């Protein structure tokens, strides 16, 4: 199916959709390789290609697999500060963040991330994530209390 579509549409958009689908159908081994490749400075994919790959990787279809990566993610976000350059670091912390509903754990994980001086944009991004998670948490609490 993709081959016939590729012949009709060889655009970057079509290629990016292919990256997303490949990530969605990845095996356990491929899944791990994708994660590790995003941590490497040797990964020469563009930010757009990385966004497409991670869209398939960090999808609710993989919710059981993703649970195994939560703790690693928070350790890696901290450890990659000085490894990955600007936009590629942002792709990692934005596109691989946990997508489950354990908001308290995510808030604690993000609160542990400490940036060196000069990384104000990254710090602001993480603070926004914390704020969004706390807002979701409050909304869930209000909904739960309203339905008691």
Per DSSP, the residues of 48-74 read HHHHHHHHHHTSGGGHHHHHTTHHHHH
- pLDDT bracket for residue 15 (50, 70, 90): confident
Residue 111 Cα to chain centre, angstroms: 17
Give pLDDT tens digits for 128-143.
Answer: 999 999 999 999 988 8
Q: Is the pLDDT of residue 10 over 80?
A: no
Tokens for 19, please give them: 């990256």
The model's pTM: 0.84
Structural element, H or E, at residue 11:
none
Give pLDDT tens digits for 22-81.
Answer: 999 999 999 999 999 999 999 999 999 999 999 999 999 999 999 999 999 999 999 999
Q: What integer pLDDT is reported at residue 3 of this predicted model? A: 59
Give pLDDT tens digits for 90-109.
Answer: 999 999 999 999 999 999 99
Each domain of the chain, given as residue ranges in start order, spans 2-146
Q: Is the pLDDT of residue 144 over 90?
A: no
Q: Contact at 8 Å (CB) between 109 and 70?
A: yes
Q: What integer pLDDT is reported at residue 16 of this predicted model? A: 81
- What CA–CA distances, in Å, run from 135 to 21, 34, 97, 100? 32, 31, 17, 15
């Amino acid at each position: 199916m993709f081959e016939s579509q590729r012949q009709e549409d060889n655009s970057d958009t079509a290629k990016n959709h292919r990256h997303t689908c490949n990530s969605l159908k990845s095996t356990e081994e491929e899944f791990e390789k994708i994660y590790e490749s995003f941590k490497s400075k040797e990964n020469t994919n563009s930010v757009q290609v990385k966004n497409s790959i991670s869209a398939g990787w960090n999808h609710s279809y993989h919710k059981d697999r993703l649970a195994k990566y939560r703790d690693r993610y928070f350790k890696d976000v901290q450890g990659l500060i000085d490894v990955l350059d600007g936009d590629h670091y942002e792709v990692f912390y934005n596109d691989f963040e946990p997508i489950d509903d354990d908001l308290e754990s995510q808030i604690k994980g993000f609160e542990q991330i400490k940036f060196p001086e000069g990384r104000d944009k990254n710090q602001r991004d993480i603070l926004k994530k914390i704020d969004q998670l706390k807002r979701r948490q409050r909304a869930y609490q209000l909904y739960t209390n309203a339905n008691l």
